[in-house]
Each structure stands twice: as structure tokens, then as C-alpha cells.
Amino acid sequence: MGRLCVLRSARPTNSGGTLEEDGFMGTERFMVRRRLGSGAFGTVYEAYDRERKATIALKLLERCKPDSLFRFKREFRSLISTRHENLVHLYELISEGGRWFFTMEFIDGVDFIEYVRGQKKCCDFARLREALRQLALALSTLHAAKPTAQGFEAGQCPRLKFWKSRST
């Protein structure tokens, strides 16, 4: 198996902000290492799970309003049993100290554009074709499992943050 990469819709953190500025330092079980990015209602961190003894990704719900919490739980529950080699695995939904978060497989990779460029400064069409093939299979799996689970229906743009590519 080659290098893994992840396609995220979340905005990457390039601000140089510290974890203290973010306000979430982790828990007794989860040691936050760095902020990976943020999306519509959550922030994703790289963390170390002391119980699993493994690096994981942790998605924290930022604003714990009833509608946001409902969507957050729905997102997790709709994906927990979905399995495909190009989708990250979700682990646990947790509430601790008034904060809600879920844990998932951590992929140490690059964004989609960087992946398809490879070592070049322009598009590597062979890598692009393979990445799009894998993406289509992953989206097909999501759609078959729960057509509206990830906020997409026919004619809408899918949210792609849970997709990962396997290099060959």
C-alpha cells in the first residue's frame, strides 16, 4: 500500500494559532496535538488516544445548540457502520465536560490538489483519473448506505471530508 492522502472540505489551519487560543486542549483520554481544520460546525484535531494507544482524528462540535447537536449526532450515526477502503472509519461519539466530539481514523496525507499534482507543478492526469475513480466508489458507497446522510441528494454537491485515497 502506498501513501495515503485525504480530501477535506474543511479549511486547513495556517493561522499559526496555538491550541490554547482554540480553547480545546483535549481530555484526560485524548491529548490534542494540533488543529487540522474547521468546517461548518466543527473543528478537527489530530490527537493521541491514550486508551487505544493510537493517533486519531477528533472532530469537536463548536456550538452546542440543539439543531447543531442533532446534525452532529446524525452525521456520526449515518457513517459509523459505512465501510469502504476510501472512507475513514469512525470510532466513538463522546460527550465530556459539556463538549461533544467524535473520533475517527487519522490519515496523515495531503489535500486533493497536492495529491494529483504529485511531484509536478501541474496536474498528473494518471493520478487524477485514479483519484476520481476512488472518489466515485466512495461516494457510491455513501449514497447506497444513506442517500442524504452526508448532506447530499441528487443534484447537490457532496461533502468530501471523509474520503481518502490509496496510492498504488
**Domain 1-168's class?**
alpha beta
Q: What is the pLDDT along the chain (168 residues), one digit of tens a residue?
A: 233 333 333 334 444 445 555 578 899 999 999 999 887 778 999 999 999 999 999 999 988 888 888 888 888 888 888 888 888 889 999 999 889 999 999 988 877 788 888 887 888 899 899 889 988 888 888 888 764 444 443 333 333 444 455 554
C-alpha to C-alpha distances, 145 to 82, 134, 165, nearest whole angstrom: 7, 17, 20
Is the Cβ–Cβ distance between 94 and 144 less than 8 Å? no
Q: Which residues pair with 37 in a beta bridge?
A: 12, 44
Instruction: Spell out the domain ranges in the chain.
Output: 1-168
